[in-house]
Amino acid sequence: MVSSYPLPDGFSEFDVFSLGSCLLVEGLLGILLNAVTIISFFKIRELRTPSNFLVVSLAMADIGISMNATVAGFSSFLRYWPYGSDGCQLHGFQGFTTALASIHFVAAIAWDRYHQYCTRTKLQWSSAITLAIFVWLFCAMWSAFPLIGWGEYDYEPLRTCCTLDYSKGDRNYTSYLIPMSIFNMGIQIFVVMSSYQSIAQKFKKTGNPRFNPNIPLKTLLLCWGPYGIMSFYAVFENATLVSPKLRMIAPILAKTAPTIDAFLYALGNENYRGGIWQFLTGEKIEVPQIENKSK
């Protein structure tokens, strides 16, 4: 069955197998870690706080990215996209919605942590739920535009997964990309950067750092920066002239976000980590009741 489908242009048999394996491992690992994060939240009463609700909302977005990666991984082993044009549009919409939501929730957690450590203001349930609903609707709206002609979903260079098509770089693409990037990445990067800068200054004054405030922004840029660079490069130059292998770096790095986020915001959170341990083993660990306290 595999031999009946030609290799994508610019890729060898080893390339397709390696990239497919990366996507599959990223997807399955992300599903596992974020599923544990979500189930622990609902099983362990002490974890059910408004701040942790943002963490579990991030996990829900990330598990969506991981499911998207898993489908792409299986398709890579087939060496073709088996779900047709409609399946490509659905895959692109689902992946784009969850990716944007993940970026938004990373910013929401940064905003919440700023208030926890700098203004000593606790997040309320009403605010957390309203924020989560707004994020999902807002991201779904921006992801729906390519379905109706503003922007377009098409295959990645490996042709076994679908995302926003940057290959044309025409006026339609540019007019969609710029406002979408401002409202779904530019503002979020600013919130993350400014929030953790303020937290770092607070930690410096108190001499009691509770976590490394430099890591969240670095991981956000590591995972999503290559996609941003490639997307804006396509505005000025023909992106298809870039090596297909090089263009595949962006989706591979982006799909590491669910695993990194799970370690950073759930397993890296002392309170949340204790809840996960209790869920997995039944053994309760007493930890200081400070939300989002990370090593």
pTM: 0.93
Six-digit token string for 71: 């489908």
Report yes or no: 37 and 279 within 8 Å, Cβ to Cβ.
no
At 87, the pLDDT band (50, 70, 90 cuts) reads very high
* CATH domain 2-281 topology: Rhopdopsin 7-helix transmembrane proteins (1.20.1070)
295 vs 166, which has greater pLDDT?
166
- In whole angstroms, give the CA distance from residue 9 to residue 231: 21
Residue 108 near residue 131 (C-beta atoms within 8 A):
yes
- Residue 156 main-chain phi, psi, to 5 deg: -70, 170
Arithmetic mean of pLDDT, 220-248: 93
Chain segment 170-179, per-residue pLDDT in tens:
999 999 999 9
| CA distance linking residue 56 with residue 129, whole number of Å | 12
pLDDT at 129: 98
